[in-house]
Amino acid sequence: MATFTLVPGADGRAWFWHRLVPELRARGHDVVTMDLPHDDSAGLEEFALAIVSAVERHARLTEPLVLMAQSLAGFSAPLVCGRLPVPVAELVLLNAMVPAPGETAGQWWENTGQAKARSDYAAATGRGADPEFDLRTDFFHDVPDDVTEEAFAMGASPPPSALFAQPWPLTHWPEAPTRFLQGREDRFLPLEFQRGIARERLGLEVEEIPGGHLAALSRPRELADALLRAGPA
């Protein structure tokens, strides 16, 4: 039995994990989720404190602890390794942004060439080069209709602007064993683009999973299965 601490991406809401949580619990594991700050001045430290606080409030904390970061949470989740009540047995990146020391989340897009990668993938899959960003098309294309409508009914929940302006403060990636799960149908951070980022910045190979950028909403069962498989040696 493990405790999975699940950190949402740019939306910042624990709701993002609501389809994955029962899959993990049905397999005998415990889960911690949290809502992240939405005050526009909240930055990386405030996000880190919110993650730590959610874990500390959890009444039943079981080792090993697995910390999973969705998308933008690749900037905040690594900051809490070494700050939690129990050691992080595994840090799992899910369709995640991987920061370099001193890089801001605002700089990340140009530094990595994300826009060209998204455009090239769109062209290769028949949507035309450089399509206008559309939340439904880019993010929710493989999410069930009822879940998509529930998400849109909740309204927008943009991340704080301060989060994009602060340099990533670590000088190196944390020592916690790290895995990188990447949706093979991700239109926003395409698979081959993420392969290059993972190799260049972490020296890791990505583990392909089915689904797009929001795999926790579109493929929760398959994602749970992938999480519970042993990572590459």
CATH number given to 3-228: 3.40.50.1820
Using one digit for the tens of pLDDT, what is the confidence trace for 47-79? 999 999 999 998 677 779 999 999 999 999 999
Domain ranges of the chain: 3-228
87 token code pair: 């050691």
Instruction: Check residue 167 and give its pLDDT.
Output: 98
Which residue in this structure is represented by tokens 């590459």? Answer: 232
State the average pLDDT over residues 88-92: 97
What's the N-to-C CA distance of the chain in angstroms?
A: 21
State the average pLDDT over residues 164-175: 97
State the average pLDDT over residues 180-201: 98
Using one digit for the tens of pLDDT, what is the confidence trace for 40-55? 999 999 999 999 999 9
Ranking 25-34, 184-193, 224-233 by mean pLDDT, the lowest is 224-233
